[in-house]
Structure formats: structure tokens, C-alpha cells
Amino acid sequence: MKTTLIITFTFFCINLIGQVVPEPPPVNKITVATSENDVVYDIVEEPASFPGGMKEMMKYIFENVKYPEIARSNGIQGRVYVQFVVFKDSSIKDVRVIKGYHSDLDKEAVRVIKNMPNWIPGKQKGKAVNSKFTIPISFKLEK
């Protein structure tokens, strides 16, 4: 009986060690915190917003994206996910691709986000805070 139990337990432990368990999604996770002014929230009560709302943001992106010529001539299409921080002073910083598609499309998506006008910062407990925001930018060629 003891031998069977030990073998079963050992087998169970080996199986657990070999498995990759996905991380649960963060809940109001706070990144970077060297001082109160540097705290960056992943989730806030009132998310940051583009001046004029989503419709104006989509218009801005549509009017400012320049399809990279190399990507156009090679028929490269795809979606790039760009993440950035909207600081409480309304500025946009720390722009980075979190899921790219092609280096030329990635660079163009980052360029467009970096050149956006200042945003309305997110709020936590009624106060403006630094918060992350993620935008997908789709590159699609017309037929």
C-alpha cells in the first residue's frame, strides 16, 4: 500500500513539474513604482481617452497611417498591437509593440501613436493617474 502511494505521488509530482500553467490575468496590477508619481496602472476606474472619443481616434489613425511601400509592394497585411502609457499630464510615452506582424508595419504603427495629440488621462478614485492603453492597428490593402 505504501509503495503504491509513493509511486503514485511521485508520478503526480513529475506530471505537475512538466506542465506549463498560464498566468492568470492581472487584476488592477501596478507596474513600475519608484515613487507615487511614477506608478503606472494597467486597469483604472476611468480609462484614458483620445480627445473626441474613439471615433476621432480612428479618424486620426486612418488619416495619419502611411502604408509602408515595401509592405504594400509585397502584399503584406496584418494587425499590430501597440501599447503605451498615458501620463497624468496627458502626454504619451513608453510606446511599444506588444504583438507585431511585420517590422515595417510595426514601425509605422509606433510612429503614428508617438505623434498622437495628448490624451485625457485615466482616473483612479477621481484623480488623474498614469495608465497603460493598448490599440490594435490594422493594415489592409484594398483590392
Contacts of 118 (CB under 8 A, 6+ apart): 51, 90, 91, 92
Single out the residue of 96, 98, 90, 85 nearest to residue 41, CA to CA: 85
Are 114 and 91 a contacting pair, CB within 8 Å? no
pLDDT at residue number 14: 32
Per-residue pLDDT tens listing for the chain (143 residues): 443 333 333 333 333 333 333 334 444 444 444 456 689 999 999 999 999 999 999 999 999 999 999 999 999 999 999 999 999 999 999 999 999 999 999 999 999 999 999 999 999 999 999 999 999 999 999 87
CA 117 to chain centre: 19
C-alpha grid cell, residue 117 = 495629440
CA separation for the pair 81, 22 (Å, rounded): 21
